[in-house]
Amino acid sequence: TSTIQTLTGKENDKTYRFPIEDFLYIRSEQRKLFAYTTSHRLHIQQRFYQLEQSLPKDFIRISQSEIINMHNIKHVS
C-alpha cells in the first residue's frame, strides 16, 4: 500500500483537503472516522483499518479507535 500525502474530509457540508502532516490524530467515533487538525474535525469516508495501512510511519495506533501523529507529541505524562 502506498503512503498518502493528503487527506480529504467533510466538515459542515464543506470538503477540505489537508497535507497528512497537519493532522494531530484520527479517531473512530460511533462507527464514523474523524481526523483532527488544530482547527478542524473532518469526517473521513474510509474504514479505519484501510486508512491506517496508508498512513506514514509517524502515525501510531494507540488504541482500538485512535491513531496519533507522533510529530505533534510534545510530552507524555
More confident residue, 2 or 39: 39
Q: What are phi and psi of 54, to 5 degrees?
A: -105, 0
Q: How close are the terminal C-alpha atoms of the chain, in Å? A: 34
Question: Residue 68 pLDDT > 80, yes or no?
Answer: yes
Helix (H, G, I), strand (E, B) or coil at 49: helix
Share of the chain above pLDDT 90, in %: 87
pLDDT at position 21 over 80: yes
User: Domain spans of the chain?
Assistant: 6-72
pTM: 0.89
Tallying the residues shown for the chain, one arrives at 77
Sorting pLDDT into bands at 50, 70 and 90, what band is 72?
confident
Positions of E strands within the chain: 6-11, 14-19, 25-29, 32-36, 41-44, 59-63, 66-69
Rounded CA-CA distance 35/77 in Å is: 23
How much is the mean pLDDT over the chain? 93
Fold of 6-72: OB fold (Dihydrolipoamide Acetyltransferase, E2P) (2.40.50)
